[in-house]
């Protein structure tokens, strides 16, 4: 009788562990991905703070392993932000663009000041040169009316489709993120979705 109970116990353990392994395997091999959409203006200090506090950590923990896709969406609040966005979009290298975006936010208090747009444009172009953009390319992008229209249309679409009224406005997949703008809270919100 003791031998039968022992065998039943061992068979039960086998099924429990088999089910645990399957659950773990299916969770680890999940294709869930969180799309982080950030509607921001390159002259917005709150956008810069969010990017500095969140993006680098997000990149290491989620983006590099394919669990999060980060999208920057232009929502320029002024001419300086519009021109900075034009120069940012001059580059077609998406990896370089994210580094360029990070640099723009990190140095925002240096380039986004000045009483004349020409001075601001020159400051932005200095950063662009660090990312292998030529003076000629950047001047062409600044003069490109189609690019300007594209960026401004992106802003209009954000207002219509996402009800964006201020920056940064952040969406995790299709849900607006209303939590605190620190990494711990943001990570918790992402993990709820994954």
d(CA 27, CA 48): 34
- Is the Cβ–Cβ distance between 183 and 53 less than 8 Å? yes
pLDDT for residue 2 is more than 60: no
Reply yes or no on whether the pLDDT at 92 is more than 60. yes
Domains observed in the chain: 35-193 (3.40.30.10)
Average pLDDT, the chain: 86
More confident: 54 or 4: 54
For the stretch 133-182, pLDDT in tens is 999 999 999 999 999 999 999 999 999 999 999 999 999 999 999 989 99
pLDDT above 50: residue 66: yes
Helices (runs of H) and strands (runs of E) counted in the chain = 10, 4
Angstrom distance (rounded) from CA 161 to CA 180: 23
pLDDT confidence tier of residue 31, bands split at 50, 70 and 90? low
Q: What is the mean pLDDT of residues 45-66?
A: 95
C-alpha 136/C-alpha 47 separation (Å) is 29
Q: Maximum Cα–Cα distance for the chain, whole Å?
A: 92
Q: Minimal CA–CA distance to 51: which of 61, 65, 41?
A: 41
What is the rounded distance in angstroms from the CA atom of residue 52 to the CA atom of residue 33?
A: 22
Most confident of 7-21, 28-42, 138-152: 138-152
């Amino acid at each position: 009788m003791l031998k039968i109970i022992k065998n039943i116990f061992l068979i039960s353990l086998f099924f429990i562990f088999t089910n645990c392994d399957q659950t773990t395997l299916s969770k680890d091999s999940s294709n869930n991905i969180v799309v982080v959409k950030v509607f921001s203006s390159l002259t917005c200090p709150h956008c810069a703070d969010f990017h500095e506090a969140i993006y680098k950590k997000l990149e290491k923990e989620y983006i590099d392993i394919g669990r999060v896709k980060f999208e920057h969406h232009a929502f320029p609040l002024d001419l300086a932000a519009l021109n900075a966005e034009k120069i940012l979009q001059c580059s077609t290298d998406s990896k370089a663009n994210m580094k360029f975006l990070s640099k723009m936010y990190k140095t925002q208090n240096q380039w986004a000041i000045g009483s004349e747009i020409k001075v601001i444009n020159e400051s932005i172009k200095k950063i662009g040169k660090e990312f292998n953009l030529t003076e000629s390319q950047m001047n062409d992008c600044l003069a490109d009316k189609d690019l300007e229209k594209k960026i401004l249309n992106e802003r209009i679409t954000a207002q219509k489709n996402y009800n964006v009224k201020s920056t940064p406005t952040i969406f995790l997949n299709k849900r607006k993120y209303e939590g605190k703008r620190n990494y711990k809270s943001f990570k918790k919100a992402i993990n709820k979705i994954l």
